[in-house]
Amino acid sequence: MTGMGAVTALGRGVARQWSAIAAGEDGIRPIERFSTDGFDVRLGGVVADRNCAGAGDAALCIELGIDAAREAWAAAGLAGVPAERIALVVGSSLGDERVPLHEVTCAIGDAVGARGPRLTVSTACTSSTNALGLALDLLEQGAADAVIAGGTDVLTPLVHAGFHALGVLSIGKCAPFSQPAGTTLGEGAGFVVLERRADARRRGARSDRAVLGYGLSADGYHETGPDPSGGGVARALRGALAHAGVGADAIGYVNAHGTGTTAGDPAEWRALRQVLGERAAHVPVSASKSFFGHAQGAAGVVEVIATLVALDHDAIPPTRNFAGPRPHAPADPVAQDRPRPHVYDLALCNNSGFGGANCALVVGRTPAVELAAAPPRPIYVIGAGAVGPHGTSAEALLAALTETPPASDAPRLDAIAPAIHLRGADPSMRYLVAAASLALADARLRVRGPARERTGLIVGMNHVSPDSHDALQRTID
């Protein structure tokens, strides 16, 4: 990791993030950008100064993203790296309602001159954590020599109203593992520059911090709630350790997702106990959302930055606002206002999101010996499914592409996946479920039992159905 950049409720720049944390200052304040009349909760981790060196009148998420990405780019000294070999991976949950997410990525890429692969990741509150993991993949595959990876998200009336309706917002400042229960929403942007160690050293860039591995999983339990057992989070944590090639005994600190909710905090602690074993009672576990608020899709990267800046100072960020533990709280939540001195080499950073998405990273000091990349494995396509105006079969698709297709009625999607209740679902999701069901049937695969934990899903999408978006907006208005 050769460069970092951040804009959060604590202020602009990585140095400001640390000075605020070191002083025990949080960025949670009354929301003034939009009206909170009619809501019990009026606090947020909002960016106070909009005068970023960004995109003028552009959407705030673009403005924040450009500012953070430029700081990371400058810190890494990428001016000498060919633009075609610089990739960009942007994670965002909802971004800004005024612009599609891919336009956010394009604007940031243009601002920093990244002309390699540009990818957008949207996996709820794990978006930027996923972005860092995907950056590792691009480097391991040789698709880029440097990757600017991170995320940007803003607090909007839609997001505030949605979380308020779920009843998961705290009436006070976010107090992970403590009281009052509930989270505080935030916003911001963070980006880091990742390179292969040999390339960084050849350029004379700083190379003593690293992302060593990442792990992914999905609970498959509930649309907005975590699996109470913590099993999904535990799989992501183990995956990160395995990818990094280290054991749980190498971890000296955990920066937890720690939203402050009565469902999320206990599930995460159960997962950590499963992974760390007896050491869970001794490894410090803190939550930086007590400083930033919950920065949504940008949460993961700003918490990684907080972890690594603290590591530079041989310290760990604390959990602020701690007024005594709730049931199933970490044994050592670092319950204080200022950082605690602590010498360690590796940390786990964990994030979870709606839909049961989980992503964990192993970060820390660059190891003395570079870890060998896993050998490439052959990948095979064993099934395919397509749904559209042509119908619901590969034969119909081929016919539509090669000849004038006959007029046909809209496909009956409920007949393709009868066990799944699609009534009332967004049309985009209906097509997705049908196509995925056809692909599994074509591959003769039955995803049952333990096989579900080894089955992944990647979806490419431009936007949701306009009708669904408008219907949701009417509930907010």
Token digits of residue 13: 């720049």
Query: Given this model, what pLDDT does residue 55 score?
Result: 43
In SS3 terms, 121-179 reads as ECCHHHHHHHHHHHHHHHHHCCCCCEEEEEEEECCCHHHHHHHHHHCCECCCCCCCCCC
What are the pLDDT digits (tens) for 232-279? Answer: 999 999 999 999 999 999 999 999 999 999 999 999 999 999 999 999
Contact 53, 74 (CB under 8 A): no
- Could you give phi then psi for residue 19, rounded to 5 degrees? -60, -35
Which among 200, 201, 194 has a CA at the least distance from the CA of 361? 194
Token digits of residue 330: 């970490």
Is residue 106 part of the annotated active site? The answer reads no
pLDDT band at 369 (very low <50, low <70, confident <90, very high): low
pLDDT, the chain, mean: 91
Query: Given this model, what pLDDT does residue 6 score?
Result: 98
Is residue 294 part of the annotated active site? The answer reads yes
Q: What is the pTM of this model?
A: 0.93
What are the pLDDT digits (tens) for 159-172? Answer: 999 999 999 999 99
For the cut 90, the answer to whether the pLDDT of residue 9 exceeds it is yes
Which among 203, 153, 123, 135 has a CA at the least distance from the CA of 363? 135
User: Using CA atoms, how far apart are residues 28 and 9, in angstroms rounded to an integer?
Assistant: 7
pLDDT band at 56 (very low <50, low <70, confident <90, very high): very low
Q: Average pLDDT for residues 341-346, to the nearest whole number?
A: 96
Q: Given 61, 257, 349, 359, which residue is catalytic?
A: 257
For the cut 70, the answer to whether the pLDDT of residue 285 exceeds it is yes
Q: Average pLDDT for residues 360-374, to the nearest whole number?
A: 77
For the cut 90, the answer to whether the pLDDT of residue 216 exceeds it is yes
Query: Given this model, what pLDDT does residue 190 score?
Result: 98
For the cut 80, the answer to whether the pLDDT of residue 468 exceeds it is no
Query: Given this model, what pLDDT does residue 376 score?
Result: 75
What are the pLDDT digits (tens) for 124-162? Answer: 999 999 999 999 999 999 999 999 999 999 999 989 999
Query: Given this model, what pLDDT does residue 359 score?
Result: 98
Numbered ranges of CATH 3.40.47.10 in the chain: 3-365
Which among 179, 396, 184, 455 has a CA at the least distance from the CA of 295? 184
For the cut 80, the answer to whether the pLDDT of residue 206 exceeds it is yes
Q: Average pLDDT for residues 4-20, to the nearest whole number?
A: 97
Query: Given this model, what pLDDT does residue 316 score?
Result: 97
Percent of residues, the chain, with pLDDT higher than 90: 74
Q: 197, exposed or middle or buried, with CB in 10 Å at 0-12, 13-18, 19+? A: middle
User: How far is residue 402 from each of residues 390, 392, 396, 398, measured CA to CA in Å?
Assistant: 12, 16, 10, 6
Q: Average pLDDT for residues 217-224, to the nearest whole number?
A: 90
Statement: 3-365 belongs to CATH 3.90.1150.10 = no
* Strand 340-341 relative to strand 346-353, pairing: unpaired
Q: Given 125, 174, 349, 359, which residue is catalytic?
A: 125
- Could you give phi then psi for residue 194, rounded to 5 degrees? -110, 140
Query: Given this model, what pLDDT does residue 271 score?
Result: 98
Please tell me which residue, 408 or 432, carries the higher pLDDT value.
Answer: 432
Query: Given this model, what pLDDT does residue 379 score?
Result: 92
Query: Given this model, what pLDDT does residue 218 score?
Result: 95
Strand partners, 341: 315
pLDDT band at 389 (very low <50, low <70, confident <90, very high): confident
Q: Among positive and negative, which fits the CA dihedral 472, 297, 126, 278?
A: negative
User: Using CA atoms, how far apart are residues 256 and 271, in angstroms rounded to an integer?
Assistant: 11
Task: Mention every residue, 6+ apart, whose C-beta is less than 8 A from residue 240.
Answer: 213, 214, 215, 348, 360, 361, 362
Most confident of 361-365, 401-405, 450-454: 361-365
Query: Given this model, what pLDDT does residue 411 score?
Result: 63
Lowest mean pLDDT segment, chosen from 7-21, 32-46, 451-465: 451-465
Q: 49, exposed or middle or buried, with CB in 10 Å at 0-12, 13-18, 19+? A: exposed
Q: Given 61, 160, 243, 294, which residue is catalytic?
A: 294
Query: Given this model, what pLDDT does residue 178 score?
Result: 95
Is residue 164 part of the annotated active site? The answer reads no
Cα angle, residue 205 at apex, residues 55 and 189 outer, rounded to 5°: 30
Contact 330, 175 (CB under 8 A): no
Q: Average pLDDT for residues 302-312, to the nearest whole number?
A: 98
For the cut 70, the answer to whether the pLDDT of residue 49 exceeds it is no
